[in-house]
Amino acid sequence: MPSSSRHPEIGPDEDEQAGRFERLEDSKARVALSSESPARTLSIGALLGSLVPPGTVFSLEGGLGVGKTLLAKGICAGLGVSDEVLSPSFILVEEYRGVLPVFHFDLYRLEKVHDVAGIGLFDAVDGRAVVIVEWGDRLREGMLDVDVRVVMRITGPEHREIAVEACRTLLAALERGM
């Protein structure tokens, strides 16, 4: 992910502080957050949306009802989208305008993975728009360059684990904002 022009305070020294994250390849790391309510998931999404640079591609993963759409709503709110964010399940993509263009895809009803080109996924990735893909794990390895992968898990009626995989600078900023 390119360094954030919207948040110049995020510098390389954050990597030191981020030493506690579980390290992954490509200078990425993982942090597991927990949410105890839908409102908390929304606010975690809003924080993420407020921190990411232009062109960020999100993959939101986890089963039906885990909270992907709710997290996407939060991300949109954090990006200054004022329209109502709905689940794009039936039409597969919605476009919003906040401080940046935002494309919200939902691949759940996509019949064949190769149909993603037809719904404009690759065109949406232009280095400026923020692209949020629910069910991004339906894509094949290498089809999409994902900057922030979020894997959600139901841990109780109102509890969710939200594991965020991203560059360490973003994770450090996320933790500071929590």
The residues that touch ligand ADP, with contacts defined as CB under 6 A, are 35, 37-38, 40-41, 64-70, 87, 134, 158-160
Q: Residue 158 touches which of ligand ADP, Mg ion, none (CB < 5 to 8 A by kind)? A: ligand ADP
Please calculate the CA angle 130-135-138 and round it to the nearest 5 degrees.
115
Strands 57-61 and 148-154 turn out to be parallel
Q: Which of 87, 99, 144, 161 binds Mg ion (CB under 5 A)?
A: 87
Give CA–CA dist 153/20, Å, rounded. Answer: 22
Query: Residue 129 CB, nearest distance to Mg ion (Å)?
Result: 20
Which listed residue (33, 69, 131, 162) binds Mg ion by CB under 5 A?
Answer: 69
Strand bridging mode 93-97 / 101-106: antiparallel
**Choosing among Mg ion, ligand ADP, none, which partner's interface includes residue 37 (Cβ < 5 to 8 Å by kind)?**
ligand ADP
SS3 content of the chain, % helix, strand, coil (to 5): 30, 25, 45
68 forms part of the interface with Mg ion (CB under 5 A): yes
4 touches, from ligand ADP, Mg ion, none (C-beta below 5 to 8 Å by class)? none
**What CA–CA distance (Å, rounded) separates 91 from 70?**
18
> 141: burial class by Cβ within 10 Å (0-12, 13-18, 19+)?
exposed
Residue closest to ligand ADP, measured at CB? 67
Chain residue at closest Cβ approach to Mg ion:
69
Considering the complex, what minimum distance in angstroms separates the CB of residue 49 from ligand ADP?
15
Give the binding site for Mg ion (CB under 5 A).
Answer: 68-69, 87, 134
